[in-house]
């Protein structure tokens, strides 16, 4: 089995490469190193079953593969808003190129979609049947709408060309190998706490998220890819919901930090509540969360502690 992973040098992509190699597959990792780092995959470079290609998914590429995991795309708001037009191209042209490849070599393809396709949701928790509430012209739209087009491309290549598709709607995921400058809430708070710097809470910290540890997410993605016939979108995430303030307080406690909380402006269109309904993943994949938030945070804190002391 040859798996192609786009975004292989990123946070999720690098863990995915590890998991696929551990299952005995050959892996081709592809990345343009925008937010990814060779450090995340350095340990794989000596593995004869792993190949790394520097490539931008907005350009076509021809390779032989049985499975394509399309994970290339910046995921942190500060990174995807840095060059929004490029973010749209990555999602849209990237999906077109990877679907074209899947069609040509008859590979099965899994698209990393996102809870962001639900926008700032009126339905809570979010089920896959919910269409979402996305501002099409707001600062998050380059990411949200790009991913919505990617889903549309997936279902249309499936119905029009018979491409075998999987759509993973991934909710907030955290863990080791998030970049130091990633800017997402878990890595920001842990780094601030370890450095005893102020913890930057956006808004009043009453907005909620549901945080999934990376190993659980990767298990689910591989299960979904290998499950026959699940071509509809599937939510993948941890249904345990916390406020941003609760997350900050938990991280302060786990790091025994002297940091104080500071309150900054809430970014425009920041979703108020987010929690997945994972009934479909449970039913179709037999998947359950194994790592509780506290345990996953402990592991992530240990990773950043090592990184800071290196
Ligand atoms: P990340 O930023 O750590 O990784 C993204 C990787 O894609 C990086 O290695 C980057 O260099 C690469 N990349 C970006 N644009 C590219 C391009 N045009 N061509 C080739 N490579 C490119 O982010 P992540 O958290 O690992 O997210 C991976 C995927 O999962 C993304 O598609 C993201 O939208 C999706 N996702 C992640 C989360 C999460 O919470 N981590 C949630 C929902 C969806
Ligand atoms: N957030 C925060 N402080 C930070 C970074 C993020 O309070 O330093 C908040 C952000 O406003 C959002 C939540 O944490 O409400 C999750 O933000 P993140 O960027 O991690 O992901 P997303 O908004 O895409 O879910």
State the chain's mean pLDDT as an integer.
98
Identify which ligand lies nearest to the alpha carbon of 75: 1
pLDDT class of 265 with cuts at 50, 70, 90: very high
pLDDT at 261: 98
Identify which ligand lies nearest to the alpha carbon of 214: 1
Q: Mean of the pLDDT values across residues 154-179?
A: 98
Q: Mean of the pLDDT values across residues 214-221?
A: 98
Asked if omega into 125 is within 30° of 0 (cis), the reply is: yes
Tokens of 276: 């997945």
pLDDT at 30: 98
Q: Are 97 and 136 in contact (CB under 8 A)?
A: no
- Which of 143, 157, 174, 303 is catalytic? The answer is 143
Q: Mean of the pLDDT values across residues 147-162?
A: 98
Ligand 2: centre distance to CA 77 (Å): 8
Neighbouring residues of 228: CB distance < 8 A, sequence distance ≥ 6? none
pLDDT at 279: 98
Give tens-digit pLDDT for 119-131. 999 999 999 999 9
Q: Mean of the pLDDT values across residues 236-265?
A: 98
Ligand 1: centre distance to CA 199 (Å): 25
pLDDT at 203: 98
What would the DSSP string read from start to end of 185-252?
A: HHHHHHHHHHTTPPEEEETTS--EEE-EEHHHHHHHHHHHHHSTT--SEEEES---EEEHHHHHHHHH
Query: Percent of the chain beyond pLDDT 90?
Result: 100
Give tens-digit pLDDT for 249-261. 999 999 999 999 9
pLDDT class of 294 with cuts at 50, 70, 90: very high
* The residue count for the chain: 310
pLDDT at 100: 98
Neighbouring residues of 251: CB distance < 8 A, sequence distance ≥ 6? 186, 189, 190, 193, 199, 257, 297, 301
pLDDT at 163: 98
pLDDT class of 144 with cuts at 50, 70, 90: very high
Give 167's strand partners.
111, 233
Ligand 1: centre distance to CA 73 (Å): 4
Q: Mean of the pLDDT values across residues 239-255?
A: 98
pLDDT at 147: 98
Neighbouring residues of 39: CB distance < 8 A, sequence distance ≥ 6? none
Structural domains of the chain, ranges and CATH numbers in brackets: 2-171+212-238+276-289 (3.40.50.720)
């Amino acid at each position: 089995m040859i798996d192609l992973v786009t975004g292989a040098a990123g946070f999720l992509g690098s863990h995915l490469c590890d998991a696929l190699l551990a299952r005995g597959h050959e892996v081709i990792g592809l990345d343009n190193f925008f937010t990814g780092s060779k450090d995340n995959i350095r340990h794989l470079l000596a593995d004869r079953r792993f190949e790394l290609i520097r490539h931008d998914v907005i350009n076509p590429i021809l390779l032989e593969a049985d499975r394509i995991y399309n994970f290339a795309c910046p995921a942190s708001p500060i990174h995807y808003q840095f060059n929004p037009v490029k973010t749209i191209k990555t999602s849209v042209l990237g999906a077109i190129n990877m679907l074209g490849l899947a069609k040509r070599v008859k590979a099965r393809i899994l698209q990393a979609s996102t809870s962001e396709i639900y926008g700032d949701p009126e339905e809570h928790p979010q089920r896959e049947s919910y269409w979402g509430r996305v501002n099409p012209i707001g600062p998050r739209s380059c990411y949200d709408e790009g991913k919505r087009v990617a889903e549309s491309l997936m279902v249309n290549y499936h119905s029009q060309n018979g491409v075998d598709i999987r759509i993973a709607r991934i909710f907030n995921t955290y863990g080791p190998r998030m970049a130091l400058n990633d800017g997402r809430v878990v890595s920001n708070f842990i780094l601030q706490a370890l450095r005893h710097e102020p913890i930057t809470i956006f808004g009043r910290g009453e907005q909620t998220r549901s945080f999934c540890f990376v190993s659980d997410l990767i298990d689910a993605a591989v299960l979904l890819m290998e499950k026959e016939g699940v071509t509809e979108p599937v939510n993948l995430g941890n249904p345990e919901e916390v406020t941003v303030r609760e997350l900050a307080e938990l991280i302060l406690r786990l790091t025994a930090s002297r940091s104080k909380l500071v309150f900054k402006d809430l970014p425009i269109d920041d979703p108020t509540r987010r929690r997945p309904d994972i009934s479909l993943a449970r039913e179709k994949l037999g998947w359950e969360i194994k790592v509780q938030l506290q345990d996953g945070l402990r592991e992530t804190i240990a990773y950043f502690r090592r990184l800071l002391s290196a």
